[in-house]
Structures are given as structure tokens and as C-alpha cells.
Amino acid sequence: MNVKRWFPWVCLAMMLGAELFLFRANRQKDAVQTQLHDTLLQLHQTEADFYVLKNSDVGLQASEILRLRKQNEILTNELMALEVSLFKIQAANDSNATHLATARLAIRLQQEHLLELEQRNAAIMNIALSSATNSAAIIAKKTCLANLRQIDDAKQAWAMENGEAGSAVPSADDLLPFLANKTFPQCPSGGKYSINAVNEAPTCSFPGHSFPPEPSPAPTGP
């Protein structure tokens, strides 16, 4: 499995999961806060009722005070439980917010890393393409020079066999019997060959495909 392919999807899944959990936690938090508010109202109402009872009939006070104390105890415990739940929800929210930020950071870093790899690959491809182009051009030039030497050798052989002067210019058909496979060579880069005179080197029209003549031997003394 390619880590570079599935890692962004894992980060995205983590981010979506954290978003969903935060949404649910916030709704739960709102519900707990509403319930906490209602409980506080009931507690305040119980305290108010208790204050009223302090000025009422003594016999009625005793039983009502007992009831209100029990209700106050229940509401107090419920209030504490709601506060604990609210604290846990807030802690979970903070934790998931941290995970969400981490997932977003991981996705951003992965995207930057992938972009860097793509740029490096593009640079390597350009270098490889340039190298391949240069290699192909060198091979084509060497092939063309070999063709020109073959044409020149055939031209010299034609002149010797037919007793032609150095100024004579043979045709391509004249040279076919002296060429390999009886075929006139072609420039691999699309250049056009000029046979020229016997005492001149053949040439190619493609730039850089030149076939210099053999250097003349140095004169010797008597």
C-alpha cells in the first residue's frame, strides 16, 4: 500500500470525525447547560419557598421544611452531576479541538510534501529529457559523419575505377555500386547530402554535421 496515497485520506477521516464529535458534543453541552439552568432555577425557587416557610405555621413548617430539604439535596446532587458532565464535555471538546488542529496540520504538511515531490520529479524529468535529447543528437551526428565518410570512400573508389579527375562530380546512382547494400545513406536528422567533387568532402545541410577533409600531408624535403 502506498503511504503517500492513503495518509491524506486518514487525516481527512480524522478531521471529519473530530468535526462530527465536536458538533455532537456542543449539542450535548448546550443540553446540559439548559438543564443546569433549569436546576438552578428550581434550587432558587426551593430556597425562596424555604424562606417563606420560616414565617408560616410551625407544624406546617416542620413537614414542609423536611420536604424542601430533601428536594434541595436532590437538586444539589443533580447540580453537581451536571457540573461534572459539563466539565467532561468541555475537556472532550478541548481534546477533539486539539486532534482536529493536528489533523489539519498533518494534511497541510502532506500537501506541501507532495508538492515538493512533484516539483523534484518534474526537475528530474526535465534533466532526463534533456540528456536523452542530447544523447540522441550526438548519436545522430556520429551516424551522419559515418555516412559522409562512406560517401567519400565510395566517391574515391568511383574516381579510381573510372579514371575521373578530382573536379569530377559523381551522381548518387554512380556511387551505389560502391556503397554498402547498394543504398545511398540518409541523414538521421533529415539533412540533405551534397556529394561534391572528388577532391572535395561531401557535406550535409543539417547544422553541425560537417565532415572535414583529411589534412594534407606535410611536404617532405628533397
User: What confidence tens digit (pLDDT) does each residue in 41-51 have?
Assistant: 777 777 676 66
Q: Which domain holds residue 113?
A: 3-131
Q: Which of 131, 153, 173 lies at the terminal end of a domain, its last residue? A: 131
- 179 within a domain of the structure (yes/no): yes
Last residue of a domain, one of 79, 103, 131: 131
| 93 Cβ neighbours under 8 A, 6+ residues apart | 22, 25, 26, 29
State yes or no: pLDDT of 141 exceeds 90.
Answer: yes
Contact of 103 with 18, CB cutoff 8 Å: yes
Whether residue 174 is found in the same domain as residue 65: no
pLDDT-above-70 percentage for the chain: 80
Q: Which residues contact 114 (CB under 8 A, 6 or more apart)?
A: 4
Residue 42: phi and psi, rounded to 5, are: -65, -40
Residue 65 domain-assigned (yes or no):
yes
Render pLDDT for 145-178 as a digit per residue (tens, 0 to 9). 999 999 999 999 999 999 999 999 999 999 999 9
> Are residues 71 and 180 located together in one domain of the fold?
no
Both 110 and 155 in a single domain? no
Q: What percent of the chain has pLDDT over 90?
A: 31
The DSSP letter of residue 214 is: P
The pTM assigned to this predicted structure is 0.44
Q: For position 50, what pLDDT does the model report?
A: 64
- CATH number at 110 reads 1.10.287
Domain count of the fold of the chain? 2
Q: Are residues 49 and 114 in the same domain?
A: yes
Residues 118 and 16 in one domain: yes
Judged on CB neighbours under 10 Å (0-12, 13-18, 19+), 64 is middle
